[in-house]
Structures are given as structure tokens and as C-alpha cells.
Amino acid sequence: MTDSRIPADLPDHIQHYIDGAFVDSVDGDTFDVLDPVTNQTYTTAAAGKKADIELAVAAAKRAFEEGPWPRMLPRERSRVLHRIADLVESRDARLAELESYDSGLPITQALGQARRAAENFRFFADLIVAQSDDAFKVPGRQMNYVNRKPIGVAGLITPWNTPFMLESWKLGPALATGNTVVLKPAEFTPLSASLWAGIFEEAGLPKGVFNLVNGLGEDAGDALVKHPDVPLISFTGESSTGQLIFGNAAPFLKGLSMELGGKSPAVVFADADLEAAVDATIFGVFSLNGERCTAGSRILVERSIYEEFVERYAAQAKRVKVGYPHDPATEVGALVHPEHYDKVMSYVEIGKTEGRLVAGGGRPEGFEEGNFVAPTVFADVSPDARIFQEEIFGPVVAITPFDSDEEALSLANNTKYGLAAYIWTNDLKRAHNFAQSVEAGMVWLNSNNVRDLRTPFGGVKASGLGHEGGYRSIDFYTDQQSVHITLGGAHNPTFGKN
């Protein structure tokens, strides 16, 4: 009997894509890819190492130095990117099906990610055509203007949460600006990344511009970071891995953009719209299975409404629908991998010693196998608790009371991270002052995470290095060259004249 959970035509084996061809690893090595619902191997993937990265980088470098892509007019590249977006949109159901199966993400949320991926390509296709560069004039004396030039081979290292969409965040601007790329997707979720090659070929991207090497971070990722012919590394992942990449890239003085971990606060003041705040903070930590860097995983609540908030939040968390990823009714699916499941469950056990468990706390009923965790809520959590300080990256939330604006700000800033913050209040002055004072790269006022693609994306402290998004992506993926022209007489000091 056919299992309705399993997408049709799953590949028996996932290969690399180098210089326009699907290939296995040079040494023939592979690794297993697991279905997160059963933790059974459903396919294998080529395990890339240094030799495979060298082939991919050589192809990308050749395409950059000899191929047409960097020399095409922005409008020509834009047309290719729009075709890519059209193809992604036309295949959104298939992409979502594969993404959901491979990552455990609920199918309805996976569908949204596929559409967002298309929008990322469309956005940068439009941006490069509208792009203007600066000119500075000193009338009658000097004119200065700026050339933007693609840099070369961009190494893109992407995470296992919403992989296809996050790959598009990097691929869109890197390709739009005329660079060539080597993509190293996360080893837990290589399935949807394998679709890029066919999409790019059909859209007319020249051979060698896009290359993909699967493999472990310590093998393929490490070789990509250390390759002397890769001047740019864009990485999304854990802060500890980011530190390692920073050190390994330093001898080459590479351009680095790193979006790292988060432990983002959601601050709820007594004058907030309580129903909207509960809805948004439930969604903010349990959507995408809680496997999101911008999750509002610490909720800080003003004491006068604290007990009511905790009661309503816990009751709603218990009603969140845990289910199989392919079921459209599912709101929280299966975590990506048994290793990650074990990590999240270890934090649940730690939390039982650090806070008051008011919802969840283990496996949901009826799910005896697979990586399922019931939405878990701890109240009365102290700021020195591990579940307050450390990124869990799952459907687990800590709620803490505060008595004053000053205490709320102190609690919000009391972690090593600084990616996002969510503030719920109807006091306009408080909202803006708090937003300015909170240590976060992005702040949402009376809103969950709804991002305009023109805005910078990135964090402070341990949450990242640099920003991408909008023109910041154009800045990262291009060199800016200043050209200076003297219009009048040359104003040269004279040396060496008798």
C-alpha cells in the first residue's frame, strides 16, 4: 500500500551539481538522509569533500572569468531571474511537498516558503535594473563616480530550517549582481536544494554560474570557507559555527555575511491588545516548528497582566495542532532530525527544573515515533536559567514577569544574542523609545515577523555580522570602485623641481 505521506518520484540518490552536470563525489562517499516522521533513511546524498569543492569552485571561477554572466547587462540578468521566479511559482506545490517531507515543516507553511522564494528572485531582478550608483561633483574642478562590480565566486552555506527559501535569499542577490556561486546546503535537508539545478537550466542561467556541493559542514563547508578563490562567504546557522567560519576565513580576508542564532524577546506591556499579543507570540515561537532564528522564544510580561497572560497562553498552546507534516490541518510538525530532537528534549527536561511547566513538556499523545515535541511553555523563568539564555530552536518558550519599563529592557537585553525583538504596547512614546534601546537588529512593534524585503536583515552581538536585504545585499555582493576625474587644471604639488 502506498503511504500518502510520501511524495511521488523521490530520488534514490541526490548528487552534486558542478559545471552544468550532476555528479557523485570524487571518492564516491555518501550520507543517509532521514524522514523526520520515522527517522528512517529514505535516500542517500553525495558527501562532498575538499576535492569536490575544488571542482565546483574551479567551474564557478571559469564561468566568472570567461563566461557571459558577469558581463551581461542588468536587464538581461533580470530577465533570467524573473524566469527563475516564474518557474519556482509554477512548481510551488511540488517544492512545498518535498520541503515538508524532508524537513518536517507543516505543508501549509512550506507552501508559503516556496512562494517567498519566488518573491526573493523577483525583488532582486527588479532591484538591479533600478540600481543607480553615486556621482559626486565639484563644479569646474572634479567629478567622481562609483562603479559597482561583481566580486567573483560567492560561497553560500545555508541552514536546514526553511532551506529552499533561505537559499533563495542568498542566490537571488548573488546572481543578480553578476557573481557565480557554490552552494553548500545543510546535510539534514538536501532534497529541495537539488531542484535548483533544473530550474536554473530551464531559465537559461549559463553553465558553471551555479554549482552545488552536498556534504557535512566540517568537510564541504570547511573546504569552501578555506578556498583561496572564494572571496565571499554568506552563512546562516549557529553562532558557534559562525565563530569557526570567522576564524577560518580570516587568513584570506574574505567578505563575510553571517546571520546567526537568536533568543529574541517578545515584550508585552499591560496596555497591549492582549488577544493580539497572545496570538502573535503563540505564532512567533510555534510556527515553523519553532525552528526559526527570529522566534520570540522569551516572552516578558508586565506583572499586572502576567497571570492572565500565562493562563491564556498555556490554554492556547495546548490547542496548537501537532500532526504529520503533510496534513493541511497541522500547525506543528516533526523536528528535522533525531539529533536535533534530542537537543530540544534535553532543554525540555532542563526547563522542568528551571520554571513552572504550564503546557506540553514531552511527546504529544499518539506520536510514539519520529521527532514530535508538544508545544511547551514554561512560566516564572529566571533570567539566569539556561532556557532563558540559550537558543533551543524548537517549540519551547519561557515566560518571565517584569515590573517596570527599565526592568523589561534589562531582561530583553540580558542574553548574548541580539537578532529580533517584538514589543506589544499602545503607548507610542514607549514603543519607539524601547525599540531604540533594545539590543536587536530588527524590531517589530505590535506585530509578528512580517518583513519588507527592502529592509536590512541581520543582528547584533552573537546574532550576526553584517546585514543583507535590499541594497545591503547589493553592497555585500559587489565591489564599489571610485573613479575620480579632474575637470580643470591639475592641482599637483610639485616635487623635485629646481
**Which residues are part of the catalytic machinery?**
259
Please name the residues in contact with 326: beta carbons below 8 A apart, sequence gap of 6 or more.
4, 5, 97, 100, 101, 107
CB 386 within 8 A of CB 350: yes
Burial of 1 (0-12, 13-18, 19+ CB in 10 A): exposed
In one-letter notation, the amino acid at residue 17 is: Y
Angle at 380 between CA 402 and CA 348, to 5 degrees: 135
Q: Which of 186, 166, 73 is nearest to 120 (CA)?
A: 166
Helix (H) or strand (E) holding 414: none
Is 39 in contact with 371 (CB distance < 8 Å)?
Answer: yes
Task: Give SS3 for 236.
Answer: strand
Alpha helices in 104-238 (DSSP H): 107-130, 163-176, 196-203, 222-226
Q: Vertex 255, ends 252 and 256: CA angle to 5°?
A: 110
Within 8 A by CB and 6+ apart from 73, the residues are none
Cα–Cα dist 75/370, whole Å: 48
| Strand spans (E) along 265-338 | 265-268, 298-302
